[in-house]
Amino acid sequence: MLQNIRDGSRLTVRLSGELDHYCAQRTRRELDALIADPGVRTLVLDFSNLQFMDSSGIGVILGRYRTMRDRGGSVAVIHMNRHIERIFHMSGMDRIIRQLDRSQEAADA
């Protein structure tokens, strides 16, 4: 189960463990259930407890990005470790999904 905090139209979801082929389907279903509410306009993915992500994880994130974009919302990420950040940049996700730093997190909260 994903940990999440709702603050108005902003939903922050903390991912933990691994986001790989094995758990991608479950994570996709849980995220879709959380963002089914059209009042969610900003999805912030917190990677502070995520240790590993592969191409299946990239697919999960990009799918939720499309869902949010299609409703006029946005997706941002926070707290990436070096491995996750490298994959994030190599995949090109950094061109469409904002990476918030600590000051932006506070300002956007």
Render each residue's pLDDT in the chain as its tens digit; 109 residues: 799 999 999 999 999 999 999 999 999 999 999 999 999 999 999 999 999 999 999 999 999 999 999 999 999 999 999 999 999 999 999 999 999 976 555 455 4
Query: For residue 83, what pLDDT is reported?
Result: 93
CATH of domain 3-108: 3.30.750.24
pTM of this structure: 0.90
Q: DSSP for the chain, please give it.
A: --EEEEETTEEEEEEEEEESHHHHHHHHHHHHHHT-STT--EEEEEEEEEEEE-HHHHHHHHHHHHHHHHTT-EEEEE---HHHHHHHHHTTGGGTSEE--HHHHHHH-
Query: For residue 101, what pLDDT is reported?
Result: 79
